[in-house]
Structure 1
């Protein structure tokens, strides 16, 4: 089976959240869900599984654990044991499990802002105060962590909630920056909950570093959350995994299920196995296509959409667009009404992000061009 990444696939009748949220004349460029067909290896694995007539409760087989152990070593030089893996129906449930089970009542939760809204809102789910650490672009378009501000925040924190790589900024943390962050958490005896769901989506030859891979001291206080869902576009199969190398921490983490975080989707486990064991070639092709899309988008913003700024994302297929110079009351609402393009509102990622929108460029080029053309026309006809 060959994959044509340029082909448009009709999704409105499939129950797609991305394509059902808005009216039929609106182009959805918002939620982190790519419009590419799934890797043939994953489809083959799902079809083979469906030849068996039973779909009861499922557990991860040893072969999946071994596949993930091998992947983490091959991709990141991170050595873990099979028993370090905890399977979950999603990264977001894992974040909330960790906050509830591992963070003392009343302790603060530090996190970078802007940030993915389920992470931004998670501390409030457990009445934990949130401590914001703003990320601001430097002259090179990078977003360095303010280490002195982090040190100060950790004095009142029980956990650091990390988005690595970062959503929505597309920031790839260097090993050196992660060591500074991790060592600060060790000094202040702070738990690290690291959302690494975008770990396999990197551009320009960059390499992802799991924060827990830095050294044993950091690993001992880390819950790392990963999934094939973003890179291989299988989010609807509701399968993720945590890596918790500290046995006592892992036991406490698992106790946080509390009847709310149940077993994992049977098909999702098989899809995850296929993604990590047979999906590398497909992913390489998709990454090359996404990088070309990113560069096409950056050039179009520079030449066709005056008033919008974008720092080149180094990871994810999400662009964080600064619309401040357009002087719009609500950029997301403007483009929805006047361009019929649905973007994610900046306010979902932080209270002071009202002049930003997030655009998903994980789509066929023709769809991205249609989005840009609509936005360009809406600005050119603005009264």
Structure 2
């Protein structure tokens, strides 16, 4: 049985200097940005310590494929998909994969479909790359979320160039099933479009749920797709700056190879080392982390039911982000403002994820169970 990963004590966490721990005063519980409170996987920590001891802090080697090979082997073991290392390329992070790929995929002003509520930087990355945002919100039947394939079809018919897919979906934790992705691929192929799939949360798919990589679903998907992959969320490496462009067709591989050399050379040396070790030797730690996240979700469900039954949580199937419907509390369009001001709990603003996020907030549950208990207690104590 996998041993759960334990969060660092608060006294240690408060010594960190990352955004999670320096954005707000110490009386605020930081549960907003997607950083985890767990220690690094031992294999990653050992490899980074060795690099520091060696002074191995120079430039990356362009053709060093060890990190890419580790990811490919991880994907084969976890998802039955073995991406071709020769068709992969590294850069700093998934946002750069998205922006640089879109620069080549979208004509000036061309529409790119996103599916709100969705990761807020998508709204900025598309115009940065010269495109325009086209919103096709997730379908919500009151019980579950899903992609609106018919809506995407209509948007492509109206002139959109392609789809920026969040898979698994941030913030709702939706893991798209294979049938849905096959339908998406067929629709996009019919319109001669593209799919750029952000799969950064995929390694954190929960037990009993099957993650399907977009590039594995069909020849059509492989022909028109690029995937953005990284260990930054799975192993808490966001500050070390490494992500992958992954392609599975000659056309998309040529597009990625045509990017400026500096796109690759900006990759972090420590990021490459940590990514390689995480995917190759951090799998037991990852399993323990997923076990802790699932236990924390169980706890959050219980605490909300007992103390804040008006707040609705639909359990995510991947990742460490809980999407909270707080609209029944009467805290306005952006309940994170009230949560931070009145309860001293920092949540991520729901409206930042698009109009469907009105009345919602996102909570990071990659923390100690006591932090979740205290956060709900504080929120429940607010009287409006």
TM range (shorter): over 0.9
Structure 1 counterpart of 2:197: 194
The DSSP-based 3-state class of the residue aligned with 2:267 is coil
Structure 2 counterpart of 1:44: 46
Are 2:9 and 1:5 equivalent residues in the alignment?
A: no
1:350 aligns with 2:354: yes
SS, match of residue 252 in structure 2: helix
Tell me how far apart the structure 2 counterparts of residues 350 and 254 of structure 1 sit (CA, whole Å).
Answer: 33
Work out whether 1:62 is the aligned partner of 2:68.
Answer: no
Q: Which residue of 1 aligns with 2:335?
A: 331
Equivalent pair of 1:88/1:262 in contact (CA under 8 Å)? yes
* Number of residue pairs the alignment of both structures matches: 378
Q: Give the equivalent residue in structure 1 for 2:92.
A: 89
Equivalent pair of 1:123/1:130 in contact (CA under 8 Å): yes
Matched-pair contact (CA < 8 Å) for 2:198–2:227: yes
Number of the residue aligned with 2:32: 30
Q: Does 2:192 match 1:180?
A: no
Aligned to 1:319: 322
Give the aligned partner of residue 154 of structure 2: 152
Structure 2: how far apart are the matches of 1:40 and 1:200? 18
The match for 1:112 is 115
1:252-299 CA-to-partner distances (Å, cap 9, x unmatched) read 234444856742111111111110111111111111110010111112
Shift of 1:69: 2.3
For 2:266 and 2:245, how far apart are their aligned partners in 1? 14
Distance 2:170 2:376 in 1: 22
CA distance change for structure 1 residues 285 and 125 in 2, over 3 Å: closer, same or farther? same
Structure 1 unaligned blocks of 5 or more: none
Contact 1:190 1:221 in 2 (8 A): yes
Deviation at 1:13, TM superposition (A): 3.5
**Secondary structure, in 3 states, of the residue corresponding to 2:376?**
helix
Say which of 220, 235, 239 aligns to 1:236. Answer: 239
- Of 182-191 and 255-264, deviating more is 255-264
Which residue does the alignment assign to 1:359? 363
The farther-off stretch of 75-84 and 8-17 is 8-17
1:71-90 matches, within 5 Å, as: 71-90=74-93
Please report how far the alpha carbon of residue 136 of structure 1 lies from its aligned counterpart in structure 2 after TM superposition: 3.3
Moved more, 252-261 or 176-185: 252-261
Report the Cα offset of residue 362 of structure 1: 0.5
For the residues of structure 1 that align with 2:352 and 2:170, how far apart are their CA atoms?
12
Q: CA deviation at 1:331?
A: 0.8
- Taking structure 2 as the reference length, the TM-score comes to 0.93
Any idea what the Cα deviations from partners look like across 1:304-359, whole Å, max 9, x if unmatched?
11321111111111011111111222311111111000000011101342311000
Deviation per CA, 1:51-89, whole angstroms, max 9, x where unpaired?
222421103523333322222222211132221111011
Q: What root-mean-square deviation, in Å, do the aligned CA atoms of Structure 1 and Structure 2 show? A: 1.9
**How much does 1:302 deviate?**
2.0
Separation in structure 1 between the aligned mates of residue 65 and residue 340 of structure 2, nearest angstrom:
47
Quote the residue 1:375 is aligned against: 379
Structure 2 unaligned spans of 5+ = none
Moved more, 57-66 or 100-109: 57-66
